[in-house]
Structure 1
Amino acid sequence: MASTLQLPSVFHCSSSSLTPPHNLLANSSSSRTGSSCPLRAVSCSSTHSDSSDSSAPVSRRQLSVGTLLVSTFGVVGGAFADFDEDYKSETQDMIGQVRSTLAMEKTDPNKAAAVAKLRQSGNEWVAKYRKAKKVAGKPSFSNMYSVINAISGHYVSFGATYPIPAKRKDRILDEVKDAEKALNRGR
């Protein structure tokens, strides 16, 4: 005996929505068109309608699957937006830190601390975003990764107070400009 739950106000799908809630777990042998994909039921809204469809019995399983789909896709969409914003702001911070550190004079007493902070921030930035497929293929990531690698390699080899040669510094600053342009375009 299947238990059903009578709810007059469950997911009501408009004609633009694709799947009514009682078809969420439709048998795979039923004819499916492009409009019966259960993942598209996420666009349904929770409203009350006086039509006979809204009082159709909905099983507890169907209700829980529908709730799970709606809650999952709602949370995932927000998480991706937050991740993109974090990436953009942290990359802008890295760009600013690279420029300010490279602009320091060799005789500046704060240079060694600034280089150590830049290397630490660069390592954290790379560790956070290197494995994220969403940003690892972006040109802004590639350029900044190259910049961080070049700066870190130079200071590991020559020390924190040894100046970066002009040719290498120009190449690094060009990469920074390219990264910033790509970042502003969302790439």
Structure 2
Amino acid sequence: MERIFITGIGTGIGKTFVSAMLAKALNADYWKPVQAGFEDGTDSEWVANWLKDTGSVVHPEVYRLKKPASPHIAAREEGITIDLAKICKKIPQNDRTLLIEGAGGLLVPLNESQFVADLIKELGAKVILVSRNYLGSINHSLLTARVCREMQIPVIGWVFNDQYLNYEEEIVKWSNLPRIASIPWTENINGTFINSQTTAITKRLKELL
């Protein structure tokens, strides 16, 4: 089973939206092991809605934390500690490609000493990086790419989301990581939009895997 971890350059940059499209493109299962905050619904519930009747399975979270905060803080408030070994023991066991969505970016703390990047290493996953075009995203993107290089985390490539200014060519060049897709900004995320973007992303993604 191939494991692909979806992480990004920060919070609120479209990882869940991209995860739904990638799951459709690869006919893959989806798993978000750590969910922090669920008053407005979970990411798993959102993805499941878009993967109806596709054959993809949305696997349950290992940690489902109430507070919408950094996972180590949300867990602390509930009197628990996020255990990476426990997460690894819960990895879904089948032959399907598994998309794993992280919380925030690579250096989001999961406990007092380990970060999302450490979980990626423990899971033995390849990474797809999601970047959203906004003022400051070059810096955040290149820092993310540097962490991957320094920690020897294998990266498949970038998915760019939104269009503030076109930073994509520079980020691809300076990070030396390929572009998988560029998703235009839309006010209306619906089935037609997701299906059209999925079609566009599938060929390029399979070339890189």
The interval holding the TM-score normalised by the smaller chain is under 0.3
Q: Which protein has greater RCO, CA pairs closer than 8 Å, 6+ apart?
A: 2
Q: Looking at CA atoms only, which structure, 1 or 2, has the larger radius of gyration?
A: 1
TM-score by length of 1: 0.23
TM-score by length of 2: 0.22
Query: Which structure shows the bigger proportion of residues in helix conformation?
Result: 1
